[in-house]
């Protein structure tokens, strides 16, 4: 069996899908419009398409179709609905015999992007209507894709459960300063500015903490300027690879996410795997995993003072941190891993 993975090669999700398909015995190649940050574990073909970003996918179609017709995949896996979902649906419609089409949906795909304009809505509905399976990682996403016309039988839950061997459980943290970590992109939707404001409030009352901000994005320079007076409390580490992220989570006791919109956050699951206490925004995607006081702490999105209070609570309650760490790790261990779930889906396709 052959699969062609379509997606942004800069994103770890693209590489993980390809690797999981390979582990399931599938011959995999990738098509992308972007240069990868890391070399993939499968052959990757770079599509060249100039012009405005919104036209690049359409301009890439002839080259993508030529490659797909030469290689003749049995399965197209598109990440995510815009751009690569559209490309996958075009390829599936033009190829004979038609390959199966799986489309993985992100929260932003169907919660926000699909509703921006009537054109975005029509595009999302069209892509999802042509998919043989739509992969979602949260109950809220399942409802959203059903609202866009996808029947229940074609909605497939695939959780991005981290590789627990790569994110080992480390409940014991060094004594001294409380260590916190954020591993979200530095973009408006993730609202890391609220974390900086909370750190300013926390620093007025106590000095026994340090925050590491992992990630990069368009707001990094502005955030670093705002946080400059807190240089002994907050550090921007930039983009890290998976092993370095695991190390940052393993040395921190508290994980913070200030996101204003999310489905299931992979970074949250990675933090739970490592034994961090999650302190996260009270949004639907987080509430599927975090219940106040039992599996983490919640604060209203954008509420810096509320976040500061919850961080102080997390710092001052070691028993809470220990109890939550054990509970969250066991919950992840009880779920089928991402690679196992993909393997089962492949078996269903070939069986």
139-157, pLDDT tens digit by residue?
Answer: 999 999 999 999 999 999 9
- Locate tokens 């866009």: which residue? 148
CB atoms within 10 A of CB 136: 27
Mean pLDDT of 76-101: 94
What does the pLDDT read at residue 127? 94
CA 203 to chain centre: 30
Helix ranges (H only) for 148-275 are: 192-203, 220-227, 242-251, 266-274
Q: What is the DSSP letter of 298?
A: E
User: Are residues 13 and 160 in contact, defined by beta-carbon separation less than 8 angstroms?
Assistant: yes
Domain annotation for the chain: domains and CATH numbers: 2-161+336-350 (3.40.50.2000), 178-333 (3.40.50.2000)
Q: What is the DSSP letter of 336?
A: P
pLDDT digits (tens, 9 = 90+) for 306-321: 999 999 999 999 999 9
Separation between Cα atoms, residue 195 and residue 200, nearest integer Å: 9
pLDDT digits (tens, 9 = 90+) for 194-234: 999 999 999 999 888 999 999 999 999 999 999 999 988 99
Confidence band, pLDDT 50/70/90 cuts, at residue 40: confident
Confidence band, pLDDT 50/70/90 cuts, at residue 176: confident
Separation between Cα atoms, residue 201 and residue 279, nearest integer Å: 16
Closest Cα partner for 182 from 173, 200, 194?
A: 194
What does the pLDDT read at residue 39? 82
Separation between Cα atoms, residue 289 and residue 291, nearest integer Å: 7
Closest Cα partner for 109 from 189, 186, 183?
A: 189
Confidence band, pLDDT 50/70/90 cuts, at residue 109: confident
Would you tell me the crossing angle of helices 266-274 and 242-251 to the nearest 10 degrees? 50
Separation between Cα atoms, residue 267 and residue 276, nearest integer Å: 11
Question: pTM for the complete prediction?
Answer: 0.89
**Encoded tokens for 180:** 């916190």
Separation between Cα atoms, residue 304 and residue 317, nearest integer Å: 20
Confidence band, pLDDT 50/70/90 cuts, at residue 177: confident
Separation between Cα atoms, residue 85 and residue 118, nearest integer Å: 18
Q: Is the pLDDT of residue 53 over 70?
A: no
In percent, the amount of the chain with pLDDT more than 90 equals: 81
What does the pLDDT read at residue 158? 94
Give the least confident one: 45-49, 120-124, 227-231.
45-49
pLDDT digits (tens, 9 = 90+) for 311-348: 999 999 999 999 999 999 999 999 999 999 999 999 98
> What is the helix (H) or strand (E) element at residue 211, kind and residue range?
strand 209-214
The residues with which 296 forms a beta bridge, in sequence order, are: 292
pLDDT digits (tens, 9 = 90+) for 253-266: 999 999 998 889 99
On the CB side of 196, CA atoms within 13 Å amount to 21
- Locate tokens 């929260």: which residue? 107
User: Are residues 236 and 152 in contact, defined by beta-carbon separation less than 8 angstroms?
Assistant: no
Confidence band, pLDDT 50/70/90 cuts, at residue 351: low
Q: What is the DSSP letter of 167?
A: S
Separation between Cα atoms, residue 325 and residue 125, nearest integer Å: 40
Strand 133-136 to 100-104 pairing: parallel
Separation between Cα atoms, residue 193 and residue 301, nearest integer Å: 11
Closest Cα partner for 211 from 184, 189, 230, 187?
A: 230
What does the pLDDT read at residue 148? 94
> What is the helix (H) or strand (E) element at residue 15, kind and residue range?
helix 12-23
């Amino acid at each position: 069996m052959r699969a062609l993975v379509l997606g942004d090669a800069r994103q770890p999700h693209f590489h993980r899908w390809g690797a999981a398909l390979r582990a399931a015995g599938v011959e995999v190649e990738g098509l992308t419009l972007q240069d990868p940050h890391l070399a993939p574990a499968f052959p990757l073909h770079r599509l060249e398409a100039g012009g405005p970003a919104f036209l690049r996918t359409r301009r890439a179609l002839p080259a993508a179709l030529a490659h797909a017709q030469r290689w003749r995949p049995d399965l197209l896996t598109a990440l995510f609905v815009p751009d690569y979902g559209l490309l996958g649906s075009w390829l599936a419609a033009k190829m004979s015999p038609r390959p199966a089409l799986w489309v993985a949906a992100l929260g932003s795909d169907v919660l926000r992007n699909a509703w921006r304009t009537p054109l975005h809505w029509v595009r999302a509905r069209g892509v999802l209507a042509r998919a043989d399976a739509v992969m979602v990682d949260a109950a809220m996403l399942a409802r959203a894709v059903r609202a866009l016309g996808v029947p229940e039988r074609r909605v497939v839950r695939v959780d991005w459960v981290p590789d627990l061997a790569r994110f080992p459980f480390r409940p014991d943290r060094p004594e001294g300063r409380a260590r916190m970590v954020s591993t979200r992109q530095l973009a408006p939707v993730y609202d890391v500015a609220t974390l900086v404001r909370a750190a300013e409030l926390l620093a007025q009352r106590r000095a026994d903490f340090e925050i590491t901000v992992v990630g990069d994005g368009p707001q990094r320079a502005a955030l670093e300027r705002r946080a400059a007076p807190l240089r002994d409390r907050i550090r921007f580490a930039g983009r890290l690879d998976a092993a370095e992220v695991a190390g940052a989570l393993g040395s921190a006791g508290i994980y913070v996410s200030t996101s204003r919109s999310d489905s299931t956050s992979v970074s949250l699951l990675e933090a739970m795997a490592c034994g961090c206490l999650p302190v996260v925004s009270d949004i639907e995607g987080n509430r599927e995993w975090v219940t106040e006081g039992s599996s983490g702490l919640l604060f209203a999105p954008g509420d810096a003072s509320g976040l500061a209070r919850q961080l102080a609570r997390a710092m001052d309650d070691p028993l809470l941190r220990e109890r939550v760490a054990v509970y969250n790790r066991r919950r992840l261990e009880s779920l089928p891993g991402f690679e196992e779930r993909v393997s089962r889906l492949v078996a269903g396709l070939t069986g």
